[in-house]
Structure 1
């Protein structure tokens, strides 16, 4: 009896008319075959707008296409035409440059937002793989080159780089509780970097949960572990110019990091205008402009970092790394001056030595800084004192004689 009932139900379902699909592709998306992204990019190139659209010129775009073509290229099928390599790369670069929604990008490229949501992480992963050589923890010869550049450009000897970190806003991950909820009251992952004297990223650590104290972010990095076990190959201690006492090579930081042997940060609290503490803090802050400017330009040119990123933490980490790698890549190409013209960077008043704000500082919604950390060591205090003595005497910076 039960068998007959089941057979009857199955027969009824078979008789039920299957709903006919209304369309295979939306009419608005069919225009992709008439006017492709390739044609659109060509028109932008003719009008001189391509660099603003994807942050690079056509030759650099083609170079990246050749690098990742084998990794992301798809074949046409008998049912539909695949999204071309040009379209895949262009829609990804446009997303990074603007932070526009997938639906808005779909209206430009005539692609569904579901397809774009698959393309963007895939292309980012491919770009990270082919561009990974643009960021490397320096070895000894490179570190000495970095130190020479800091002394020449920023008048700060024995400096191997500038360290800073920022919170990048994300959508609350599923079932994460307060794990990514930071001290500023939003969900985030932390982007921790080291920058050289030329505004290039030397080291990047991404993905630490926003809830973790900012001092703990640095403590858990591979870079910190390499400092602790002496595997970073930091050069031997060297005396500052005109002085006899050897001091370690250091990384300049702000109050979000501890003061210790290889990490140097400003003196706390207000200082008298002509005191050696005030002079030291100014000179250190001047050297730290490299990382401040690198962050500012990165978020100004890749505006996805200014939005709340609507991806899971793993894909967000991949996306942020792509922005950082593209920053270093573009700065070594012909588009460098278009990507970040000279007025984007901070400058100095040649008479008073005061800072002239770069264009990036005039824009709103910068990345959120890390929280202050009070950790100090005796070694760090002694090293900071030696630098302060140097800047007050042998390293005194006379702005008029420097420029005239």
Structure 2
């Protein structure tokens, strides 16, 4: 984020912040509160380390982050997370056709687990099938990697299909009440089709929600997976730019929801107003002339993938002539041919 963009963001959120002069003689300025919050979201630094670097109390920093995250969402969601009109749905579909050659698509839907400290007395509600505690982030993205809608806070144990079905968006989707454009013909044909979202196998097939076909139609599945990469990229960019998603969020679910919503709003804000800086062309997946997908830089920016690469390099090194330890095979009783 550039300095002018920081000032722009500050001017938007400041009106949603409570007047700290009422409670403090020497209040912390709004610009410093915003800087503290952005550093927390962008780096994933712990609250204790963050409070030490700004010479504030941990509880003070925690309160600043929660208050500012709420203000960021309130300030940005009306403009950058507004629900599309019928004309805007058509614009989204045109972009999907132009960029991803998939007709009448108005968004790609997927879910993401946001790692969370185990809430007290929550049992297994937040324990997901991946083996950790989380809240669910369900979202739809447009062709330009911006989020059209998000639903945050469902129990981690719920499936993607269950989270979508119980959300207000999912209910309106199933009932056909999203104000989507009237059915149109597929390009170059006279075949009519409704507008729809793309999902993976975790979602139920609906008129306005199209999922892969099992065991056949390889061309269709390839084309659908290619178009669905936009939501995978949107999540990837979000996690790469806001490293808070790369660590366990050490707070209660209600506060974690505010943090996630602030990051989503900032993602759309920066993707819309400072795209070249926030996600340059090389940062996202692209398709070569041969049809092969070229991975974007956000994939290399993920700490887990870098760590996995380092581990694989070490594993190979320990098996090589240069890195072998004379007694390693004897100790493990595997034999020197392993």
From 296, 300, 311, the counterpart of 1:358:
296
Separation in 2, partners of 1:158, 1:67: 35
Alignment of 1:342 with 2:281, yes or no, is yes
Offset at residue 205 of structure 1 (A): 0.5
Correspondence for 2:229: 289
| CA distances 1:191-216 after superposition (whole Å, capped 9, x unpaired) | 01111111111111100001123321
Alignment size in residue pairs: 302
1:139 and 1:232 in contact (8 A); partners too: no
Alignment of 1:208 with 2:154, yes or no, is yes
From 88, 110, 114, the counterpart of 1:168:
114
TM-score (norm. length: structure 1)? 0.72
Correspondence for 2:48: 103
Offset at residue 225 of structure 1 (A): 1.3
1:73 and 1:84 in contact (8 A); partners too: no
Separation in 2, partners of 1:65, 1:304: 21
TM-score (norm. length: structure 2)? 0.85
Following superposition, which runs of at least 4 residues in structure 1 exceed 4 angstroms of deviation?
A: none
1:298 and 1:327 in contact (8 A); partners too: yes
Correspondence for 2:8: 63
From 60, 80, 84, the counterpart of 1:138:
84
| CA distances 1:225-263 after superposition (whole Å, capped 9, x unpaired) | 112333211222222123233121111111121122111
Separation in 1, partners of 2:170, 2:159: 15
Separation in 2, partners of 1:341, 1:241: 30
Offset at residue 100 of structure 1 (A): 0.4
Correspondence for 2:327: none
**RMSD of Structure 2 on Structure 1 (CA):** 1.7
Alignment of 1:309 with 2:249, yes or no, is yes
Determine which structure has more spread, i.e. the larger CA radius of gyration: 1
1:72 and 1:123 in contact (8 A); partners too: no
List alignment gaps of at least 5 residues for structure 2.
306-338
List alignment gaps of at least 5 residues for structure 1.
1-55, 272-276, 367-404
From 61, 73, 78, the counterpart of 1:128:
73
SS in 1 for 2:145: coil
1:181 and 1:211 in contact (8 A); partners too: yes
Offset at residue 161 of structure 1 (A): 0.7
Separation in 1, partners of 2:11, 2:239: 27
Correspondence for 1:383: none
